[in-house]
Amino acid sequence: MKNQLINLFERIASERDNKCLNLQDMVCETISRIITEVDIDADQKLPSCRELSRTLKVSRNTVNAAYMQLIDAGLIESRERSGYFISSTWKKQNPNLTNMISPINLTLSTDLADPHLSNLDNPVEWQDYSYPFTYNQIDPMLFPLDSWRECARTALGRKHTLDWIRDSVDTDSSNLISQIRKRLLTSRGIVASENEIMITTGSQGGLAILSAVFSRQAGRIAIEDPGYFGARDAFHLFGNKLIGIPVDQHGLNPKTIPSDTKLLFTTPAHQFPTMVTMTLDRRRELLESSTQNNFFIIEDDYEAEMNFVDNTLPTLRSLSQDRVVYLGSFSKAISPGLRVGFMVAHPEIIRAARQARAAMYRHAPLFLQEVIALFIRKGYFEAHLRNLENSYHTRWTRTHDSIQRHLDFLNISSTQGGTSFWLEGPANFDSVKLKDNLKSRSVLIDSGNNYYLKRNNKRGFRLGFAFVQVEKIDDGIRIISEEVRKIMK
């Protein structure tokens, strides 16, 4: 049995993912996996520190520290002059289930996947590409790790534990709500009370909630075309009927909104994906149309803080409160992995949204809410935004100049900032083919067909530069230019 245990340690150690663990934690992982996955008796003696250090190729001190850690956790126990054993108490409470589980063959009569929803086809290992011009990613070197770690430690202190350890079905972190009201919304010209704000799992979570809330109302939802496929998917998922509204160099055209519209989704700061900014005249025209035709507006303030050419225009919400639902997110400003955002709307809409949210996922993680609140309160958020703006401004300028140098024969959308550019080829241009061809040269782009409501337009493609190293931008765009010219021959 001793040799069998040593063999098990060698096998499991060879399978472990050691990218995020130090040596002591890797030893703990290996031992805990054997304890939970292998059917061995509690009286079975574990290898000595000397034997295990030799097997796992680590020091005896590392193994000893791991054993002490597992003793504290109650997984193993030390017996005087006998060595280390699996905890008998733990084994009685947690019987091995390996032999109790039988495989299930499940055959469905229909495919559960909805063919109308988007299929995101970026490679899982996208970050390994030399030139990943893909959207919605950030440079990890820009993440404020030290200040974020400090705020997380503070939130984990006993003084703050009750702020996030509780269940919260219809409320959010009062600290985060306060910081959003006082620090974020005021910078966008928005005044809101506490009962007009709700925390979401990013803008996407807000869209799903609003889609559910408005699904019982008569009429169609109007979306920008091309536009954000995540909004289209969320609205479709809850059975809403959609209508596409064309976008030009001035943004969404209010004159084309049909009379049976109940809800309109727009990204006026930087239109997704063309990145054009809706003019002030268009914004006022849109608000007048919403009043006259009795529809609500969802304003996704996408990348509003990243303006490099002109001053930021007032939000729709600041110009007309009652008919505008405002969506904000910390995904682009801090990290897309956080999935924390917020919604600002009329109290009755917020009340219905909280009810729908409780049915979907109850609430966004309170721990993250408290960390973000501290991050804003201590001034780290504003400092981080300035750092992001400086870095992205440099990349925006480098990308813009490179596009003008290598791809000036394409139609390039006018933009005042953001973290991407939108380009279009001639009528018969195939950006899907371009994307496939570029993968073999370690370049990733976002083809444009998925942004259109009917997905029947392949002319456009999107270049996101937030993750690409500054010194690589020109080389990457030169490669793109070469492949574009091959397709256009």
Would you call the peptide bond into 132 cis, given omega within 30 degrees of 0 as the criterion? no
At 296 the pLDDT is 97
Residue with tokens 């949210």: 357
The SS3 of residue 136 is: coil
Residue 247: pLDDT over 50: yes
Structural domains present in the chain: 2-97 (1.10.10.10), 126-142+383-488 (3.90.1150.10), 145-378 (3.40.640.10)
At 445 the pLDDT is 95
- Predicted confidence band at 457 (pLDDT cuts at 50, 70, 90)? very high
Residue 20 identity (one-letter amino acid): C
Residue 279: pLDDT over 60: yes
- Predicted confidence band at 115 (pLDDT cuts at 50, 70, 90)? confident
At 338 the pLDDT is 86
The SS3 of residue 251 is: strand
Q: What distance in Å separates the CA atoms of residue 161 and residue 367, rounded to the nearest whole number?
A: 9
Q: What distance in Å separates the CA atoms of residue 137 and residue 469, rounded to the nearest whole number?
A: 13
**Do residues 143 and 454 lie in contact, with contact meaning Cβ atoms separated by under 8 Å?**
no
Mean pLDDT of the 310-324 span: 90
At 97 the pLDDT is 45
- Bridge partners, 83 (sequence order): 79
Residue 88: pLDDT over 90: no
**Do residues 227 and 244 lie in contact, with contact meaning Cβ atoms separated by under 8 Å?**
yes
- Tens-digit pLDDT profile for residues 328-365: 999 878 888 889 999 999 999 999 999 999 999 888 89
Question: For 333, which DSSP code?
Answer: T
At 21 the pLDDT is 67
Residue 2: pLDDT over 70: no
- Tens-digit pLDDT profile for residues 179-234: 999 999 999 999 999 999 999 999 999 999 999 999 999 999 999 999 999 999 99
The runs of H, that is alpha helices, within 77-179 are: 88-93, 145-156, 161-164, 174-179
Size of the chain in residues = 489
Average of per-residue pLDDT values in the chain: 88
At 100 the pLDDT is 47
- Tens-digit pLDDT profile for residues 159-176: 888 778 877 777 899 999
At 233 the pLDDT is 95
Four-point Cα dihedral 211, 214, 220, 222, nearest 10? -50
Specify burial of residue 39 (Cβ count, 10 A radius: 0-12, 13-18, 19+): exposed
At 98 the pLDDT is 47
What is the percent of the chain with per-residue pLDDT over 90, rounded to a whole number?
60
Beta-sheet pairing, 460-464 with 420-424:
antiparallel
Residue 52: pLDDT over 90: no
At 161 the pLDDT is 82
What is the separation of C-alpha 263 from the centre of its chain, rounded to a whole number of angstroms? 25
At 246 the pLDDT is 96
At 33 the pLDDT is 74
Q: What distance in Å separates the CA atoms of residue 226 and residue 273, rounded to the nearest whole number?
A: 7
